[in-house]
Structure 1
Amino acid sequence: MKPYGKLSQEELSELLGILTRRDPSVLLGPAIGEDAAIVDLGDKVLVTHSDPITGASELAGWLSVHVAANDIATRGVKPSWLVTTLLLPQTFSREQLKNLASQIRSAADEIDATVIGGHTEITPGLDRPIIITTAFGAGEKKKFFTTSGARDGDLLVATKDAALEGTSIIATDFHDKLLGKIDKSILENAKNFIREISVVKEALTAAQIHGVHAMHDATEGGILAAALEIAYASRLSIVLYEEKVPIRRETAQICRALGLDPLRLISSGTLLIAVQPESAPILIERLQKEGIKATIIGEFKKNGHSLLVKKTGEKIEIRLPVAEELWRLFLHT
């Protein structure tokens, strides 16, 4: 039986080989590690990306917008339009549907985006809603970014802190199990981390800085997977320093209590940015002026294996795929 989460690189490569078709108007199509497709519209480009929310969540509608929009913003393009598909169980009530729609509208308003279409249906076999949002944005033809744009010698900058989404999910879904091990106030603080998962602001800010070469949203598999995906797409290796990765007290305590690695825990809300060394201080200062913490956590190299330098100084070779810690937790609980 296949594990939950992303397909293996081998399976995904095989799938993309079947799906991909040459089209001169497609500047960037499906590829491992790339966040969104880019289509040539003449003097503009259309950027598009689709993402599902498959797990039960009180904020599923709100999350669906931000998760999809983040991947448009990593291209340096503002997410402007949304198409939403709602697959609903038979037991889904009208009040639940209204709440879902209100969440989608609220999230869209937060990033100044508009829902322009979609599809709704009652789907057999579901015990929870599945929400699929496709986001679109239009940008300048010569001013977009890709995951594959990192260069030898670039530094890796992370915004905010690691594992914000994962910490929030665990604090919510495992609240009762963690009570007694972790102070209630810590859990309540951690639940609110979900409100920080948008990276639109920092991505559009970073896009204005000379020397920024690539951006990538750290989602499933956490910062470790996202850093490796940039390196893989850019045909480079990454040296990641564990002691430099910013981790909040709440995340550290929850992961310690459950035996989880925060570097491998879903990290929506953390934007990874590849930037030339001389531009890194300018980038960090600009982000800080916007109220966004930013930290240098690694560096890209042309040769050698990708490495995680542990706090002890030990160097561990790292590679894709990275197993998501949240799936492991759910499977063993």
Structure 2
Amino acid sequence: MKSGKLNWDDLKAVINNNKTIKREDVRVRNGIGEDCAVINFGDYECVISTDPITGASKNLGRLAVHINCNDVASCGVEPLGILVTILAPEGTTLEEINNVMKQIDEETSKINVEILGGHTEVTRAVNQMVLSCTVLGKAIVGKAVSTKGAQIGDDLVVTKYLAIEGTNILVNDYRGLFESVLTKEEISEAENLISEISVIKEGNIAGKFGVNSMHDITEGGVLGALWEMVKASGLGFEVYEENMPVKEVTQKVCSQLKIDPLKLISSGSMLISTKDGEALVKLLMEKGINAKIIGNITKEKGILVRKGKKEIVPPPERDELFNINL
């Protein structure tokens, strides 16, 4: 198989064919688009999620903290603890491992998340460092928002800008490729996008506002996130390319590589479905968070409108990060 997530049908089969035990104290279970499990502990619930970093060579620690904490934040819950597993290839130095842990410590300190434990190992099973984290959050029972809660007629809101994580990764990993395409200011802007990939703030705001569904936009970009949200909810969507918030530097990067920013990994953006998108956008903007309504939840099918023409959005395949031919 090629690099990247399993395709939707294969992943669905792997998950659904290997779920023998179902406990009563698990309120929300894993599934397509449902990145967090929610476990009942009486008056409170534990929200838990796990993800690796495999598509970047720089900022591993920073990315790992935020992509995992973002999953928990997409439930409208504040993350409180993180477990870290580092698998490093032979030849890795102690300094390199320590640098990754220093990044993790710095980022968790910013968002008040405690490092609870984990595992560190040098192994010939990998040819580059693989970092996987599990994050836990705590919520009052029944308050955690799930991906599958979208309802027909909901406005679809996107926060910040799409593909900022992908833009940051690409410019960091292939800087020389963009020096003739981007200005020094744009390269600096792309390198600093790492500071914008947390969605904890908007997750908390939206959770308190009252929304039906949230999903952080990661591998597969906004189109992948939309597909996962509506599949979890058993519904459809209609969104408009002209409403998608994409930075100019991202457009230039994607144009140079001939990739679609709507299919590029997008940690830092939250996808939200809510009955009152205008009020939520207004609130987010007042809090300093860019937000736009990109479309609506519909009864069936996923539709993207490009230049007035409707396209059916297929199931997500590999992220554009893995489709680059240099």
Task: Give me the TM-score of the superposition, normalised by structure 1.
Answer: 0.94
Q: Is the 8 A contact 2:73 2:199 kept in 1?
A: yes
In structure 1, C-alpha distance between the alignment counterparts of 2:264 and 2:215, rounded to whole Å: 16
How many residues were matched structurally? Answer: 325
Q: Secondary structure at the match of 2:153?
A: coil
- Spell out structure 1 runs of 4+ moving beyond 3 A: none
Q: Following TM superposition, by how much is the alpha carbon of 1:268 offset from its aligned partner in structure 2, in angstroms?
A: 0.6
* Residue aligning to 1:169: 169
Q: 1:159-204 CA distances to partner (integer Å, 9 max, x unpaired)? A: 0011001111111222212222332322221121122111011101
Q: Following TM superposition, by how much is the alpha carbon of 1:127 offset from its aligned partner in structure 2, in angstroms?
A: 3.0
In structure 2, C-alpha distance between the alignment counterparts of 1:129 and 1:224, rounded to whole Å: 28
Q: Secondary structure at the match of 2:283?
A: helix
In structure 2, C-alpha distance between the alignment counterparts of 1:3 and 1:205, rounded to whole Å: 38
Q: 1:130-174 CA distances to partner (integer Å, 9 max, x unpaired)? A: 111000011011211111000000010000011001111111222
* Residue aligning to 2:134: 134
Following superposition of structure 1 onto structure 2, how do residues 70-85 of structure 1 map, counting pairs within 5 Å?
70-85=70-85
Q: Following TM superposition, by how much is the alpha carbon of 1:56 offset from its aligned partner in structure 2, in angstroms?
A: 4.4
1:325 matches 2:324: no
* Residue aligning to 2:256: 257
Q: Secondary structure at the match of 1:208?
A: helix
Question: In terms of mean alpha carbon deviation, does 312-321 or 176-185 score higher?
Answer: 176-185
* Identity, % of aligned positions: 37
Question: In terms of mean alpha carbon deviation, does 31-40 or 84-93 score higher?
Answer: 84-93
Q: 1:247-290 CA distances to partner (integer Å, 9 max, x unpaired)? A: 111011111122111101111100000000xx222211221122
Task: Mark the CA change 1:74 to 1:250 in structure 2 (over 3 Å): closer, same or farther.
Answer: same
Q: Is the 8 A contact 1:171 1:190 kept in 2?
A: yes
* Residue aligning to 2:282: 285
Q: Following TM superposition, by how much is the alpha carbon of 1:62 offset from its aligned partner in structure 2, in angstroms?
A: 1.6
In structure 1, C-alpha distance between the alignment counterparts of 2:121 and 2:317, rounded to whole Å: 34
Q: Is the 8 A contact 1:216 1:271 kept in 2?
A: yes
Q: Is the 8 A contact 2:6 2:317 kept in 1?
A: no
In structure 1, C-alpha distance between the alignment counterparts of 2:75 and 2:311, rounded to whole Å: 31
Task: Give me the TM-score of the superposition, normalised by structure 2.
Answer: 0.96
* Residue aligning to 1:38: 38
Q: 1:198-240 CA distances to partner (integer Å, 9 max, x unpaired)? A: 1011101110113x10000000110111011111111111101
In structure 2, C-alpha distance between the alignment counterparts of 1:104 and 1:3, rounded to whole Å: 29
Amino acid at match of 1:308: L
Q: Is the 8 A contact 1:218 1:270 kept in 2?
A: yes
Q: Secondary structure at the match of 1:219?
A: coil
* Residue aligning to 2:145: 145
Q: Is the 8 A contact 1:55 1:128 kept in 2?
A: no
* Residue aligning to 2:221: 222
Gaps of 5+ in 2: none
Amino acid at match of 1:321: P
